[in-house]
Amino acid sequence: MSSVRDALGCHAVGIQHGDKRGLSLGQELSLCASDSPDCWILRGASAEDAVTCGLDPSSGLLRSLRLSPVLCVVGINNDPSLSEDADMSATISAAKRASVTGIPSIAVCIASTSVGLPLEPAQMALQAVLGAVGRTIQEGAELTTAANCPRAHFPFPLNGRWSALGTNQLPVDAEIQASLSAASADFAASDCWSLGEMALTNGDASAPKSSPEDKRSILRRAFCDGDTFVCLHVPPRWSLSHTPKPFTSTLPGVIWHQQQSSNQYQPTSEGATFVPQLNTDKVINSTRPCSTSESTSLPISFTIGTGTTLCDSSTRGDVDAVLSGKASLTTLQTWPHSHAFSLLDDLKVEALRESPRGLPLWLDE
């Protein structure tokens, strides 16, 4: 919390939670003040619970405190949520939950599961990133309340998003265009949304090219609207002065988890010497798996072990960045690929353009 206050110069409210995952739907979660000022404890809660209860624009904690959200920071957590592990990360899930409410969000992870690691490297990295974030979300010289919270309908098509499907931003062939036009007409009639002026085209038309500056403007808008969020991974021994370029803008890297399972079979009387008891044979036969072959049996349980984790080199991968000792900053999408709010690929590529410090240029321009 001190990193947020120092970097942004704003009021910071913290909510502590447990290690569980997901949303505790239908469960009552008790809230109490902690010993630290402006910090609260949500008992029996997950990170997603804490974000939801804190930021709900209708009845969340901030609303009860008569405060307006500006930015959500989840972490600092020991959570190596690199590459595909992001899908199972409680930290990233909570940051995404905040983004869904329309609030700019940052997930901050120490890329290790080891306990007792110092927080100072991650705090230094976060403070540097927050300085850039503050300039992105402010208007003029002042921080502004998250403008898209609560979320509002947005006009179709939106620049740089999949909602522009069928326009000159994302052209399609004539057959698909015809089906899109019919679906759009039905949607407008039933939902009464204005689709705006759709510059419909086909695959033969040349789409206008946005400049890098235009793309970075769209990236900033997407972050402020909660349609993207940022994940910061910091190596345990990272230092701001370790290299001339301590950060790098990344994509999810490549990790292969090859989990292995061991199984256990139902014990039988084979190979044993004992005096048969009443009903013994019947019990043994009833516990054997049904099979067309007497020699075939199926396991009764499995245990999944850690197995082996392999890492392949990947251009601008977050795994590669952390292994090289740099802090990784990845621009992640709040919505699934090809969702109406999700960014087009050329914008994801532009998110890799770096400032001299290695931060994404759209954030540190």
What does the domain layout of the chain look like in residue ranges? 2-151+214-257+313-350, 162-210
Average pLDDT, the chain: 85
Give the least confident one: 98-112, 119-133, 158-172, 333-347: 158-172
Percent of the chain past pLDDT 90, that is, above it, reads 55
Q: What's the CA gap between 202 and 8, in Å, rounded?
A: 47
Residue 200 has pLDDT above 90, yes or no: no
Backbone angles phi, psi at 340, to 5 degrees: -55, -30
CA nearest neighbour of 344 among 221, 185, 121, 160 = 160
2-151+214-257+313-350 carries CATH number 3.40.1210.10: yes
Residue 4 has pLDDT above 80, yes or no: yes
Structure tokens at 173: 């062939």
Residue 204 has pLDDT above 70, yes or no: no
Residue 113, pLDDT score: 84
**Complete DSSP assignment for 44-93:** T--HHHHHHHHH-TTT-HHHHTT-----EEEEEEE----GGGGGG-HHHH
Instruction: Say how many CA atoms lie within 13 Å of 258 toward its Cβ.
Output: 4
pLDDT digits (tens, 9 = 90+) for 68-93: 999 999 999 998 899 999 998 999 99
**Per-residue pLDDT band at 193 (split at 50, 70, 90):** very low
Structure tokens at 113: 């599961």
Reported pTM: 0.83
For residues 129 and 163, the model is more confident at 129
Find out whether 170 and 162 touch, Cβ atoms under 8 Å: yes
Residue 271 has pLDDT above 80, yes or no: no
